[in-house]
Amino acid sequence: MPKSLISIHDFTKEEMLHVLSIAQEFEKNKVQPILRDKVIATLFFEPSTRTRLSFETASNRLGARVIGFSDAGNTSVSKGETLKDTIKMVSNYVDLIVMRHPLEGAARYASEVASVPVINAGDGANQHPSQTMLDLYTINQTQGRLTDIKINMVGDLKYGRTVHSLLQAMSHFEPDFTFTAPDELMMPQEYKDFLNAKGIPYRETRELEGNINDCDILYMTRVQQERFTDPMEYEKVKNTYNLTASMLAGAKENMKILHPLPRVTEIAQDVDDTPHAYYFKQAENGVYVRMAIIAYLLGYK
Amino acid sequence: MEKGSKELKVSAIKNGTVLDHIPADQLFKVITILGLKDCPNQITFGMNLDSKRLGKKAIIKVADRLFEEKEINKIALVAPDAKINVIKDFEVVEKKVLRVPEQIVGIVKCANPKCITNHQPITTKFETEFEDGVLKLHCHYCEKNTSSENIKIITEN
Ligand SMILES: [Zn+2]
């Protein structure tokens, strides 16, 4: 079975660092068409324009051609074809598959039936490892290191898969966490148990103000309506946090604000003009990191 | 020969396997897991027998059959304290201790409704974990845990 990237656990610490260093190379020299004779499939069983464009840009920058679909609506999948049959067929056409699927575990299963590497671009609320890798890349870029970073994670810490994966990935690098969330969206116990077992310090708070000045990274998240089964619960918490420029007066000089995007109301527009805003650069970094993941899985780097 | 009036409620077998101390409400799950429905051997079931430890227990006696360890360990999922006695000439010649297997393939449904295994014809796969003495099944696909009280046995195929 070829090496795939389905969950952030599939990469060792060394592999993470290796891929991050390849991404640095790609950022310095964006035109490296090393995959000129390759075809990459982007199979999006649920739409995600942002992620798909990032992967397709990465593939194109590497010189590969891209085939695929952006929505399962008009494909044989909507006619009842099994995931196995779709993947078996496509893996005979291409050299690598990028896939996003609304069901959890879909990408893991695909990687077991595919004859080519699979990159998970999101499987329901489960994993989205390329997002985690670009978060690591951006933290390293803004702080000059990955070790000993103070991170304040804000917003939906209960359903937000990006914060869960980032927490697990950062656990290799002696971080210090603050979890800022309303009672309904606190970090699940299993992740706190994980940190306890590793001896990694964290504290929990409901207040955003008063927890901005001592962190290196302020990791903001959107409260995603689609993750809620109870609409009342969503209404109660959707506008809990609203970061504005005036709240950043006492922040450390090196402090950067990250956000997986798209944002709604959690970061005000006036924050964009402060030197702390870094989320657009973070999104750009996604392209270099995805180039690195693709090149690594295909054995080119 | 098995002793005690309690045991005599279910007739003794000459050769085979006795599965004792099954919680009464887990009997049918054990039958499913071991595939006894399709077993041609002579089988006797006892249910709602009094038990000091379990309140009500069940017992299964399968004549002329030995189970492989791999097979029998699967019932630890629903009856972790079951006692497995191998019988020869009406005597207990071996007592087997159940051990929860490290990996469970098939048998159990993933409790996560959004798991791919609940929507496509895929064999489930779990790693077993103990957290504070409580059994949890970690789904190989969706990476979510199914706790022991939520274990649902797949009855089809
Ligand atoms: Zn599952």
The tens digit of pLDDT for each residue in A43-85 reads 999 999 999 999 999 999 999 999 999 988 767 777 788 999 9
pLDDT value of residue B52? 82
Neighbours of B38 (CB within 10 A): 5
Preceding amide of A231 cis, omega within 30 = no
pLDDT above 60: residue B4: no
Count CB-CB contacts under 10 A for residue B12. Answer: 13
User: Do B122 and B76 fall into the same domain?
Assistant: no
Three-state secondary structure call for residue B147: strand
Query: Within this chain, do residues B55 and B108 fall inside the same structural domain, yes or no?
Result: no
Phi/psi of residue A122, nearest 5 degrees: 120, 120
Measured from the Cβ of residue B105, the count of other Cβ atoms closer than 10 Å reads: 12
What per-residue confidence (pLDDT) applies to B152?
A: 86
A126 touches chain B (CB under 8 A): yes
Does residue B11 lie within any of the structural domains?
A: no
A109 contacts B120? CB cut-off 8 A: yes
Residues A25 and A149: their CA atoms lie apart, in Å, by 24
Residue B70 resides in a domain: yes
Q: Are B129 and B96 in contact (CB under 8 A)?
A: no
Q: What pLDDT score was predicted for residue B9?
A: 52
CATH label of the domain that carries residue B36: 3.30.70.140
- Considering only CB atoms, A105 lies closest to which of B121, B141, B145, namely B141
The residue among B87, B139, B136 whose CA lies nearest residue B116 is B139
CA distance A156 to A220: 9
- Residue A53 pLDDT: 96
The CATH code of domain A8-128+285-297 reads: 3.40.50.1370
Q: How confident is the model at residue B10 (pLDDT cuts 50, 70, 90)?
A: low
Please indicate, yes or no, if residue B9 is contained in any of the structural domains: no
Residue pLDDT, tens place only, A234-268: 888 888 899 999 999 999 999 999 999 999 999 99
Q: pTM for this structure?
A: 0.88
| Ligand 1 centroid, distance to B146 Cα (angstroms) | 8
Q: Which domain holds residue B67?
A: 16-96
Q: Per-residue pLDDT tens for A182-225?
A: 998 999 998 999 999 999 999 999 999 999 999 999 999 998 88
Does some domain include residue B50? yes
The residue type of B89 is: D
Contacts of B140 in chain A (CB under 8 A): 105, 108
Rounded CA separation A186/A52 (Å): 30
- CB within 8 Å: B112 and A125: no
Residues B90 and B136 placed together within one structural domain of the fold: no
With left for phi above 0 and alpha for psi between -120 and 50, is residue A299 left, alpha or beta? left
pLDDT score for A124: 92
By Cβ distance, the residue of B117, B121, B145 closest to A105 is: B117
Stretch(es) of chain A classified as CATH 3.40.50.1370: 8-128+285-297, 129-283
Phi-psi region of B133 (alpha: psi -120 to 50; beta: other; left: phi over 0): left
**Is residue B1 domain-resident?**
no
Reported as a single tens digit per residue, the pLDDT across A111-169 is 999 999 999 999 998 999 999 999 999 999 999 999 999 999 999 999 888 999 999 99
Mean pLDDT value across chain B: 87
Pick the residue of A4, A87, A104 with the most B CBs within 10 A to test the interface with B by mutation. A104
The 8-class DSSP code of residue B2 comes to -
- d(CA A210, CA B135) in angstroms, rounded, equals 41
Rounded CA gap, A57 and A53, in Å?
6
Are B112 and B134 in the same domain? yes
For residues A191 and A201, give the distance between their C-alpha atoms in angstroms, rounded to a whole number.
Answer: 12
- Rounded to two decimals, the ipTM of the complex is 0.89
Phi and psi at residue B83, to the nearest 5°: -105, 130
Amino acid in position B75: I
Whether residue B46 is contained in a domain is answered as yes
Distances (CA, A) of B90 to B13, B97, B144: 6, 20, 46
pLDDT at res. B151: 85
Query: Domain check: are B23 and B63 in the same one?
Result: yes
B84 found inside a domain: yes
Closest C-alpha to A139, from A161, A110, A172: A172
Of B8 and B142, more confident: B142
Number of domains in chain B: 2
User: Residue B123 is part of a domain; what is its CATH number?
Assistant: 2.30.30.20
Taking residues B1-9, what's their average pLDDT? 48
Residues B90 and B139 in one domain: no
Question: Do B92 and B112 reside in the same domain of the chain?
Answer: no
Mark whether B138 and B83 lie in a shared domain: no
Same domain, yes or no: B20 and B52: yes
Q: According to DSSP H, which parts of chain A are helical?
A: 13-28, 49-61, 83-91, 106-113, 129-143, 161-170, 189-198, 231-237, 279-297
Residue B5 has pLDDT above 50, yes or no: no
Domain boundary among B52, B78, B96: B96
Q: Are residues B91 and B28 in the same domain?
A: yes
Interface check for A7 against chain B (CB to CB < 8 A): the answer is yes
In this predicted structure, the answer to whether residue B8 has a pLDDT above a threshold of 60 is: no
As a whole number of angstroms, the distance between CA A8 and CA B107 comes to 28
CATH number for the segment(s) A129-283: 3.40.50.1370
Q: What is the pLDDT of residues B45-70, one digit of tens each?
A: 998 988 887 788 999 999 999 999 88
Sequence-distant (≥ 6) Cβ neighbours of residue B127 within 8 angstroms: B102, B103, B137, B138, B140
Sequence-ordered strand ranges (E) for chain B = 16-23, 43-51, 55-63, 83-88, 91-96, 103-105, 108-109, 125-131, 134-139, 145-147, 152-153
Strand partners, A43: A69, A99
pLDDT given for residue B2 in this prediction: 45
Q: Are residues B33 and B66 in the same domain?
A: yes
Query: Does residue B3 form part of some domain?
Result: no
CA dihedral A68, A97, A111, A129 (to 10 degrees): -110
